[in-house]
């Protein structure tokens, strides 16, 4: 009898209404974060679609401006400028990937293989530091090294080479941008690989040593295979963010009118032309393009990462 | 045979040591250079040329000029500290609450809410619509423009959710039997258990707040009093025209050769990061791992 009662009560306690009542305080607390999502995340998405279909004028505002359907998109896909910023965005992202992907893998294997634990710890601590500097600081450093009277030019002068306009040229923009990016992230990017390396079964290394395998065989047959999943995973994630990985914040600091031809990307264009010159309609259309293609790329890359590496972000 | 093996291992170790040592130097050199120049007087810099690194007669003149001739940089420092403190606290609390809520498996509406969070992780409104939202709310030129648009870190919501889902069920069940309400459970059980996660995520959020300048650039157009240090620093270096003139900044713009003053400002933006760096180190691996592979 008592058991029955408990059972009935137990069932009753599981109704949706009861559970909602149980968590009422949590719902109440979550109002603010969810209000945030609606106001600062969903509203802009809505605005993005509205603006993208409008010929925005200051007088008309968001709601009063003329509705022009997909004209903004038509204008974009026909404009040379959009092709240029799209090309630059993908090019800079790919260059970052090509130059910045392999070095951390090599470095993490080296750090992992290092015999002296003390030297390894100290090196790691120092190599990670640049990651924590803001891009402003990185630009400050780049400027003092590369300016006309800077360290590099003074050094060149010493060798009898004339000073070069490193910061005001099309030619040196990409190497300096990508180089300083790699400088900032190289050490930090090893962390994920090092975490994977420490998970490799140490008995394998022991067995390899007894079998007389040298460092090269060891790396080839044990170390690298041990981190292949993580390598594939990060490669996929990098490819998935190809539209967002150009680094707007860094480029905004490093670029100037002398190199817009190679340095202007989607993000910097949105800031300078979209926001600065109030091309809100066209700018929103660019955002729709960027966010939608970005979404598809991330979904695909996550799927591929799950398939090939057994690792995904969800 | 055995001997050759040992030799290749030795050669390999030597190569590693050399490569890593060079990379360490490359990481460190710009810092030493910046620090050195910040303690150099303009006269010494001019007379010794640009290849100098360590000053013969170090001076605090630059620091005195930047920090005490007018209050631009002291104010910037204060704003940066405030936005770092308040921004991190607000974001951490909101993010934790959301993650905790979503970890309750029998919560009605959980799937829908989770989906709502995932959407914002994957799709964003972009620079212009977000700007117009901030503007529409009347937040332009206010301190809150640097805090509210990033009030929830949706990525970290998923980290918290994952963490709370992983807590042993017994802890929660026994608390429920003891008649512990949901609020007390959150404050007295969940929060204390998650201090490590909070510390890791919080420290990285704080670094992000300290280093942020772009939001201030677009949201604080006229209110230069609220410029954080990183934006002031950016304005010193940017070739962009600045509708802004503190006496020191005009000074530096006119006198482009005054490298040491610029390096003083750089140091002021860098040193606080270096101060918290030792505390951060403990959380590196967990922080990165949580940031990269979730769920």
Termini Cα distance of chain B: 48
Give A178 to chain B, closest Cα distance, Å. 15
Categorize the per-residue pLDDT at A297 as very low, low, confident or very high, splitting at 50, 70 and 90: very high
Same domain, A82 and A23: no
Burial class (CB in 10 A: 0-12, 13-18, 19+), B18: exposed
> For residue B218, is pLDDT > 90?
yes
Q: Which of A128-142, B53-67, B150-164 has the lowest mean pLDDT?
A: B53-67
| A60 in a structural domain | no
Cα A230 to Cα A192: distance, rounded to the nearest angstrom: 8
Cα–Cα distances in Å, from A221 out to A205, A226, B141? 10, 9, 58
Element (DSSP H or E) covering residue A54: strand A54-55
Categorize the per-residue pLDDT at B236 as very low, low, confident or very high, splitting at 50, 70 and 90: confident
Nearest to A33 among B152, B274, B285 (CB): B152
Cβ contact, residue pair B211, A133, below 8 Å: yes
Q: Considering its fold, how many domains does chain A have in total?
A: 2
| A67 in a structural domain | no
Across the strands, what pairs with B185? none
Establish if A16 touches chain B: CB-CB under 8 angstroms.
Answer: yes
Give A18's contacts (C-beta < 8 A, 6+ positions apart): A12
Nearest to A140 among B9, B95, B266 (CB): B266
Residues from chain A that touch B212, judged by Cβ atoms under 8 A, are: 134
CB-CB contact of B117 with B98 (8 Å): yes
pLDDT at B43: 78
| A131 in a structural domain | yes
**What is the Cβ-side half-sphere exposure of residue A184, based on CA atoms within 13 angstroms?**
20
pLDDT at A27: 93
Cα B12 to Cα B8: distance, rounded to the nearest angstrom: 6
Cβ contact, residue pair B294, A140, below 8 Å: no
Give B4's contacts (C-beta < 8 A, 6+ positions apart): none
Q: What does residue B41 show for φ and ψ, rounded to 5 degrees?
A: -75, 155
Cβ contact, residue pair B127, A186, below 8 Å: no
Identify from A11, A144, A256 which residue to disrupt to test chain B contact, counting B C-beta atoms within 10 A and taking the largest count: A144
Cα A33 to Cα B150: distance, rounded to the nearest angstrom: 11
Once rounded to an integer, what is the mean pLDDT over residues A107-126? 94
In 3D, which of B42, B36, B39 has the Cα closest to residue B59? B39
Categorize the per-residue pLDDT at B5 as very low, low, confident or very high, splitting at 50, 70 and 90: low
Give B26's contacts (C-beta < 8 A, 6+ positions apart): A183
> For residue B67, is pLDDT > 60?
yes
Cα B234–Cα B236–Cα B238 angle in degrees, nearest 5: 60
Helix then strand then coil, % of chain B, to nearest 5: 75, 0, 25
Q: What does CATH list as the number for B69-292?
A: 1.10.3720.10
CB-CB contact of B233 with B249 (8 Å): no
Give the pair of three-digit tokens for residue A253. 């600091």
CB-CB contact of B139 with B145 (8 Å): yes
The residue in chain B having the minimum alpha-carbon distance to the alpha carbon of residue A210 is: B2
Report how many Cβ contacts below 8 Å link chain A to chain B: 279
| A82 in a structural domain | yes
Establish if A34 touches chain B: CB-CB under 8 angstroms.
Answer: yes
Could you tell me the residue ranges of all domains in chain B?
2-63, 69-292
The residue in chain B having the minimum alpha-carbon distance to the alpha carbon of residue A144 is: B259
Give the pair of three-digit tokens for residue B36. 């050195």
Establish if A58 touches chain B: CB-CB under 8 angstroms.
Answer: no
> For residue B224, is pLDDT > 80?
yes
pLDDT digits (tens, 9 = 90+) for A264-284: 999 999 999 999 999 999 999
Cα B51–Cα B55–Cα B57 angle in degrees, nearest 5: 145
Establish if A208 touches chain B: CB-CB under 8 angstroms.
Answer: no
| A23 in a structural domain | yes
Q: What does residue B72 show for φ and ψ, rounded to 5 degrees?
A: -50, -55
CB-CB contact of A138 with A184 (8 Å): yes
Cβ contact, residue pair B120, A41, below 8 Å: yes
CB contacts under 8 A, A 78-117 vs B, are 107, 110-111, 113-115
Length of chain A: 314
Same domain, A41 and A104: no
Once rounded to an integer, what is the mean pLDDT over residues B111-133? 95
Cβ contact, residue pair A114, B20, below 8 Å: yes
Same domain, A178 and A225: yes
Give the pair of three-digit tokens for residue B106. 């029998």
Cα A20 to Cα B106: distance, rounded to the nearest angstrom: 9
Cβ contact, residue pair B126, A291, below 8 Å: yes
Give the pair of three-digit tokens for residue B280. 């951060």
Give A254's contacts (C-beta < 8 A, 6+ positions apart): A139, A142, A167, A173, A176, A177, A180, A263
The total of other beta-carbon atoms located within 10 Å of residue B171's CB is 13
Residues from chain A that touch B165, judged by Cβ atoms under 8 A, are: none
Identify from B97, B100, B125 which residue to disrupt to test chain A contact, counting A C-beta atoms within 10 A and taking the largest count: B125
Residues from chain A that touch B292, judged by Cβ atoms under 8 A, are: 192, 233-234, 237
Range of the domain at A32: 2-52
CB-CB contact of A292 with A52 (8 Å): no
Q: Among all chains, which residue has been given the structure tokens 């998405």?
A: A45
Cβ contact, residue pair A25, B183, below 8 Å: yes
pLDDT digits (tens, 9 = 90+) for A44-64: 999 999 999 999 998 989 999
Burial class (CB in 10 A: 0-12, 13-18, 19+), B20: buried
Categorize the per-residue pLDDT at B295 as very low, low, confident or very high, splitting at 50, 70 and 90: very low
Across the strands, what pairs with A67? A54
H helices present in B195-283, as ranges: 195-211, 214-219, 229-237, 247-254, 259-281
> For residue B217, is pLDDT > 90?
yes
| A91 in a structural domain | yes
Cα–Cα distances in Å, from A236 out to A93, A97, A164, A241? 13, 11, 38, 9
Q: The domain spanning residue A246 has which CATH number?
A: 1.10.3720.10
pLDDT digits (tens, 9 = 90+) for B142-191: 999 999 999 999 989 999 998 999 888 887 777 777 777 888 889 888 99
The residue in chain A having the minimum alpha-carbon distance to the alpha carbon of residue B295 is: A314
Cα A58 to Cα B230: distance, rounded to the nearest angstrom: 32
Establish if A194 touches chain B: CB-CB under 8 angstroms.
Answer: yes
């Amino acid at each position: 009898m008592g058991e029955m009662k408990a059972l009935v009560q137990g069932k009753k306690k599981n109704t949706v209404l009861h559970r909602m009542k149980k968590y009422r305080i949590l719902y109440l607390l979550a109002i603010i974060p969810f209000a945030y999502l609606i106001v600062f995340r969903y509203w802009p998405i809505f605005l993005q679609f509205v603006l993208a279909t409008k010929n925005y004028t200051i007088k008309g505002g968001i709601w009063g401006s003329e509705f022009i359907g997909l004209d903004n998109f038509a204008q974009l896909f026909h404009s040379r400028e959009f092709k240029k910023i799209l090309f630059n965005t993908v090019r800079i992202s790919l260059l970052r990937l090509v130059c910045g992907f392999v070095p951390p893998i090599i470095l993490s294997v080296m750090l992992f293989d290092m015999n002296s634990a003390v030297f390894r710890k100290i090196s790691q601590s120092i190599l990670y530091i640049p990651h924590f500097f803001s891009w402003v600081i990185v630009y400050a450093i780049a400027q003092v090294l590369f300016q006309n009277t800077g360290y590099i030019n003074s050094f060149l002068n010493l060798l009898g080479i004339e000073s070069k306009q490193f910061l005001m040229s099309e030619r040196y923009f990409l190497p300096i941008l990508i180089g300083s990016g790699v400088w900032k992230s190289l050490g930090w990017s090893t962390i994920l690989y090092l975490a994977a390396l420490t998970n490799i079964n140490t008995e394998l290394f022991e067995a390899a040593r007894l079998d007389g395998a040298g460092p090269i065989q060891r790396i080839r047959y044990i170390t690298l295979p041990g981190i292949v999943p993580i390598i594939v995973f990060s490669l996929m994630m990098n490819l998935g963010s190809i539209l967002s990985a150009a680094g707007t914040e860094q480029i905004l600091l490093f670029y100037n009118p002398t190199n817009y031809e190679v340095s202007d990307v989607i993000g910097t264009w949105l800031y300078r032309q979209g926001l600065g010159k109030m091309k809100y309609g066209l700018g929103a259309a660019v955002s729709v393009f960027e966010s939608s293609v970005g979404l598809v790329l991330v979904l695909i890359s996550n799927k591929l990462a799950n398939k090939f590496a057994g690792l995904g972000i969800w | 045979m055995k001997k050759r093996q040992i030799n290749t291992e030795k050669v390999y170790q030597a190569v590693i040591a050399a490569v890593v040592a060079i990379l360490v130097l490359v990481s460190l050199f710009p810092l030493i250079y910046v620090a050195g120049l910040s303690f150099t007087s303009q006269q010494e810099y001019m007379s010794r040329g640009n290849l100098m690194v360590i000053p013969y007669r170090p001076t605090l003149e630059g620091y005195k000029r930047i920090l005490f001739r007018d209050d631009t940089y002291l104010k910037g420092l204060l704003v940066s500290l405030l936005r770092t403190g308040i921004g991190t606290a607000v974001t951490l609390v909101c993010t934790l609450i959301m993650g905790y809520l979503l970890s309750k498996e029998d919560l009605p509406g959980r799937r829908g809410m989770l989906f709502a969070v995932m959407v914002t992780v994957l799709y964003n409104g972009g620079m212009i619509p977000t700007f117009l939202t901030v503007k529409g709310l009347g937040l332009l030129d206010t301190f809150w423009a640097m805090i509210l648009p990033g009030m929830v870190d949706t990525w970290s919501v998923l980290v918290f959710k994952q963490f709370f889902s992983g807590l042993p069920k017994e802890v929660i069940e026994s608390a429920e039997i003891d008649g512990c309400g949901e609020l007390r459970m959150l404050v007295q059980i969940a929060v204390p258990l998650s201090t490590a996660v909070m510390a890791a995520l919080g420290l990285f959020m704080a670094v992000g707040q300290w280093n942020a300048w772009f939001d201030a650039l677009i949201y604080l157009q006229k209110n230069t009093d609220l410029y954080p240090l990183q934006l002031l620093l950016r304005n010193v270096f940017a070739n962009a025209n600045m509708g802004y003139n503190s006496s020191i900044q005009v000074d530096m713009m006119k006198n482009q050769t005054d490298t040491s003053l610029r390096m003083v400002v750089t140091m002021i933006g860098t040193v606080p990061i270096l101060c918290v760096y030792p505390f951060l180190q403990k959380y590196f691996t967990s922080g990165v791992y949580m940031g990269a592979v979730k769920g």
